[in-house]
Structure 1
């Protein structure tokens, strides 16, 4: 498998998909490829607008992008894709539409057979076994919490170490501890902004200057960096 799972699309003050663009290029290589974009996580703006934003950045890298909403048969579009790209937004909406269009299993099979997968934020969430470590508000019934299970662990994208000033609710770490209390056989990766996970075959590494925080029920959370081997999470 080849996966690039990105915490967030954009850093403050930067253009859209600017910080990860060089890693996307390295990941996909020099061959001109046609990427199938899945924009279903968009809620407050149109799929056409989302497609345009992503297509502009990918064109800069030498790749063509076409959104799945232009295809009359989305299952066939996935089966024919050279690259699958899943954008961020609202994970609940994304999962609902993936279920409605019967795409979870076909994406899983396609990527397991070698098609590169790129996702950011919600697009990283759906590479996990379930959506249950998303940060997003459940704005719609997803018709099932299970997702593609391309990796056997959970990701919490946009991971924050502390609450914003003046906020008295639970920290992100406390929320993850709640998840692990119920799902005590899972790892959760707190993926900070500006970082991403690269999976190639049975190896995984962190990319970025910040560490990832690794959670497991009964264990003290650990910080791992780009110098560490994260492949144990794939077992």
Structure 2
């Protein structure tokens, strides 16, 4: 299974997707037909145009899933699928409504590249339970694509020493998650991403890296280049045997 899961799509001082452009180009390989899923944001046309502009230097032809009466019908013709960021609840609701859960899962299992950023990265997990977003709409189910068997928390923020903010930190929220669930959670800091292929899972991006939370254990820090393949153990039955 081929995955590129970005914590964020825009980094400080960079244009949209610029910070990960080389990684995106490498992940795409010879893929030229990309289906973009814009449902995490309200302006589908504008969002798709932004992605098309960002990927034009790579020679990629971008089609918005919203341009078809049946969005799932566009999946088969694509070489890669990119699910953009925004509100995870709105995105997942649309994926279920348009029949894209099964369609994207089947396409990626067959070997197509799946790219996600932020909310789109959340969608690669079993559920959206570790999103940072407000539930502005109610999905019919919390079940997401399940392309990986663990949860991801994009835009992970470390506690700030001396902060006067009285709300829970991200680490405290993930601890609450583990009071009810026994699933690893990888906190992806800004500027980092996960790359999966050939049965391996690696971390890349900025030196800040990521932090892995497991129920009943102390968090573990990982830097760029870290091998995280062990997190793929227990992957869903629909995964491709080729990896």
Fold equivalence (TM over 0.5) = yes
Partner of 1:222: 220
Listed as ranges, the matches of 1:82-161 within 5 Å are 82-161=79-158
Partner of 2:23: 23
CA distances 1:171-230 after superposition (whole Å, capped 9, x unpaired): 00000011111012x110000000000000310000112221000101111001223210
How far is 1:73 from its partner? 2.1
How far is 1:13 from its partner? 2.7
Partner Cα separation in structure 1 for residue 52 and residue 153 of structure 2? 26
Partner of 1:61: 58
How far is 1:105 from its partner? 1.5
Structure 1 alignment gaps of length 5 or more = none
1:210 partnered with 2:208: yes
**Contact 1:32–1:62 (Cα < 8 Å) also in 2:** no
Pick which of 60-69 and 146-155 moved more.
Answer: 60-69
Partner of 1:183: 181
Partner of 1:174: 172
Partner of 1:231: 229
How far is 1:163 from its partner? 5.1
**Contact 1:161–1:173 (Cα < 8 Å) also in 2:** yes
1:75 partnered with 2:77: no
TM-score under structure 2 length normalisation: 0.92
How far is 1:157 from its partner? 0.1
Structure 2 alignment gaps of length 5 or more = 234-243
Partner of 2:2: 2
Partner Cα separation in structure 1 for residue 165 and residue 102 of structure 2? 39
Listed as ranges, the matches of 1:186-205 within 5 Å are 186-205=183-202
How far is 1:166 from its partner? 3.3
SS in 1 for 2:76: helix
CA distances 1:139-193 after superposition (whole Å, capped 9, x unpaired): 0001110000000000000000115943211000000011111012x11000000
CA distances 1:17-37 after superposition (whole Å, capped 9, x unpaired): 1101111001112x2511000
TM-score under structure 1 length normalisation: 0.95
SS in 2 for 1:178: helix
Partner of 2:41: 42
Segments ≥4 residues shifted beyond 4 Å: none
Partner Cα separation in structure 2 for residue 72 and residue 230 of structure 1? 39
Pick which of 67-76 and 84-93 moved more.
Answer: 67-76
**Contact 2:204–2:226 (Cα < 8 Å) also in 1:** no
SS in 2 for 1:81: coil
Q: Between Structure 1 and Structure 2, how many residues are aligned?
A: 231
SS in 2 for 1:79: coil
**Contact 2:189–2:209 (Cα < 8 Å) also in 1:** yes
SS in 1 for 2:75: helix
